[in-house]
Structure 1
Amino acid sequence: MNLFELLKSCSVTSLEDMQLPTYLMGSFRRKSISFFNGLTDEKTTVYWFQSKSFSIDLRLSDPMYTPISERQGWIGDTIWDSEKELLSWNIRESYQPRIQWPEPAKLFPIGNCILEFAPSGAYVEDWRQQSSSGLFCGLRLYQTEHLHSQQKFAMDGGLIIAGEHLAYVQSRLPFVQQQLENISVLNDAIQNQQIDASLVENYQVSIALNGQTIQFSTQSCLVNTTLDLDNFEMDKLGNITQIKEIEGVLYRLYFSLDMYQPDFQFEQQTSTTASAQQWLDQEKSHLLKHAVIVK
């Protein structure tokens, strides 16, 4: 069964117990990152997708030609400190063998933009909401079953659908991940032949914009292919599963439903004071002359 058909039989997720602010929900493109030394990067391809309890992140210095050892992608449990208004992540496995972004995030939303400040002052990132409205779904991959042997093992990953945009993560198979356990720098390990580059690339983070065709991925061979949303079913316990081929072998992937809203309105604007609205209206001939929506 196609996932979109299966979701029609799922219960709508309540938003009343949301721990994260609703302005964080959706898909975001990083417009820029500015560092404490005065340098700014506006070219690196970076996307962040946010479901109710987990995040997906992809970072490529070049959309197609980022060296295998330099690609970044991960999925992690999202932790929100409401008192300090800090966002952090619990990442069990990622494309890289080390955590490259250790600081929590101090966030400030304005319009369709979220500014992320490192508490140390190391950098500020400018994120732009890409989603407007539509289906909002988050599935968290937690287990995989080898169909032939029926052996089950833990596996991390997930899928987020935010309107017309999709992000998918699938961690390395356990026997592959074990080969990276004592590696801290991928480039050195590949050059010293400690590990084969194909095993590094085995960790998948893929982004599909405006449909199911993948535009960006840690696995360059997947670019311009279609994200597989077929062969889904729901078992008697309510688990969502998918039969999928990995490295030529059939597996059953087990997902938990984190978020399902059939028609979610992603936040594109923020509130302000009446006097600020009056000021903008009064000065709009100058302030809004060249202003456009930038995603």
Structure 2
Amino acid sequence: MDLNELLQQLSPTDLQQVSLPHYLLGSFRRKSISFYNGLTDEHTIVYWFQSRTFTLDLRLSDARFTPITERQGWIGDTVWDHAQQLLSWEVQQSYQPRIQWPEPATLHAVGNCLLEFSPSNAYVEDWRQLSHTGPLLGLRLYQVQHLGNGEVCAMDGGLIMAGEHIAYAQSRLPQIQDILSNFFRLDQALAQNVINEAEIESYEVSVALNSQKIQYSTQSQHVGESIKLNDFELNDQGIITQIRQIHGEDYRCYFQLDLYQPEFQFVRESNTSDASHHWLQQEQDHLLKNAQVVE
């Protein structure tokens, strides 16, 4: 079955199970990052997709020509500290062999803008919610089975659908990922010939915006292709599987349902006081004359 057929068989998640603030759910584009030294980057391609318990992240300096060893992408468990209002991530397997964003984050939402501050004041990131309404789905990949020899191995990954936008992540096979355990940088591993470029690039994070066509990916050869949304199965125990190719061979991928809402209203406005509403209405001729939604 395809993804739409699968969705028709899933039961909606009780939103009371979602400990994250709802303004964090969805798909976000980074508009900018500003550093403590006064520098600002408005050009690096960065996307963040958020489900109930996990995050997908993709970062590319160039849409098609980021060097293989410089690409960034990861999937991680999302940890929300309600008492301190801190968001952090536990990343077991990343495209890079090191954790490049070690600090937790404090967050402040204004409209469709989500500001992420590092506690050390090293940087602030300006994220924009891209999703409006539609299905919100999170599927967490936890293992794969080789269809030829039946071998089962643990894998990390997942699929998040947020309205009209979709992201998919899939870690490297364990025997490839283990090679990188003693390296801090991918170029070091490549220079020592312990891993090749195809094995490095086998860590996938792909993003499809406004359609099923992949627009950005750690696997640049897939840009422009349709993101794979067929060959799903749902068994009597509620286990979701999908047949996918990994290194040219067929595998059955196993997913756990993390979150499903058939029609979710993504948060694009924030609360404020009655006085602020009055102020904006009173001063709108000046304040709103050149204002527009920026995503």
Q: Normalized against structure 2, the TM-score is what? A: 0.98
Where do residues 247-266 of structure 1 align in structure 2 (5 Å cutoff)?
Answer: 247-266=247-266
Aligned-residue offset at 1:192? 3.5
Aligned-residue offset at 1:146? 1.0
Find the aligned partners of 2:17 and 2:150 in 1 and give their Cα distance.
36
Find the aligned partners of 1:27 and 1:283 in 2 and give their Cα distance.
32
Find the aligned partners of 1:153 and 1:234 in 2 and give their Cα distance.
20
Which SS does the other structure have where 2:15 is aligned? Answer: coil
Find the aligned partners of 1:172 and 1:194 in 2 and give their Cα distance.
15
2:169 counterpart residue number? 169
Aligned-residue offset at 1:17? 2.1
After superposition, give the CA deviation of every residue in 1:92-147 in whole Å (9 maximum; x if it has no partner).
10100000000001000000000000000000000000000001100000011111
Equivalent AA in structure 1 for residue 59 of structure 2: R
2:78 counterpart residue number? 78
Contact conserved, 2:202 with 2:247, CA < 8 A, in 1? no
Find the aligned partners of 1:17 and 1:132 in 2 and give their Cα distance.
22
Greater Cα shift, 114-123 or 171-180: 171-180
1:61 and 2:61 correspond: yes
Number of matched pairs: 295
Identity %: 58
Equivalent AA in structure 1 for residue 273 of structure 2: T
1:272 counterpart residue number? 272
Aligned-residue offset at 1:179? 1.6
1:90 counterpart residue number? 90
Which segments of 5 or more consecutive residues in structure 2 lack a partner in the other structure? none
Aligned-residue offset at 1:4? 1.2
2:134 counterpart residue number? 134
Aligned-residue offset at 1:237? 1.4
Equivalent AA in structure 2 for residue 101 of structure 1: W
Equivalent AA in structure 1 for residue 289 of structure 2: K
Equivalent AA in structure 2 for residue 203 of structure 1: Y
Find the aligned partners of 2:19 and 2:68 in 1 and give their Cα distance.
36
Find the aligned partners of 1:2 and 1:272 in 2 and give their Cα distance.
42
Contact conserved, 2:233 with 2:240, CA < 8 A, in 1? yes
1:213 counterpart residue number? 213
Find the aligned partners of 1:251 and 1:190 in 2 and give their Cα distance.
27
Find the aligned partners of 1:195 and 1:170 in 2 and give their Cα distance.
18
**What is the RMSD computed on CA atoms of the aligned residues?**
0.8
2:15 counterpart residue number? 15
Equivalent AA in structure 2 for residue 179 of structure 1: I
Find the aligned partners of 1:151 and 1:194 in 2 and give their Cα distance.
24
Which SS does the other structure have where 2:182 is aligned? Answer: coil
Find the aligned partners of 1:249 and 1:59 in 2 and give their Cα distance.
27
Which SS does the other structure have where 1:16 is aligned? Answer: helix
Q: Normalized against structure 1, the TM-score is what? A: 0.98
Aligned-residue offset at 1:195? 2.0
Greater Cα shift, 265-274 or 2-11: 2-11
Which SS does the other structure have where 1:84 is aligned? Answer: coil
Find the aligned partners of 2:72 and 2:55 in 1 and give their Cα distance.
14
Find the aligned partners of 2:291 and 2:162 in 1 and give their Cα distance.
26
Aligned-residue offset at 1:231? 0.5
Aligned-residue offset at 1:191? 2.8
Which segments of 5 or more consecutive residues in structure 1 lack a partner in the other structure? none
Find the aligned partners of 1:61 and 1:135 in 2 and give their Cα distance.
30
Which SS does the other structure have where 1:47 is aligned? Answer: strand
1:195 and 2:195 correspond: yes
Runs of 4 or more above 6 Å deviation: none
2:293 counterpart residue number? 293
1:29 counterpart residue number? 29
1:157 counterpart residue number? 157
Greater Cα shift, 244-253 or 116-125: 244-253
1:111 and 2:103 correspond: no
Find the aligned partners of 2:135 and 2:190 in 1 and give their Cα distance.
41
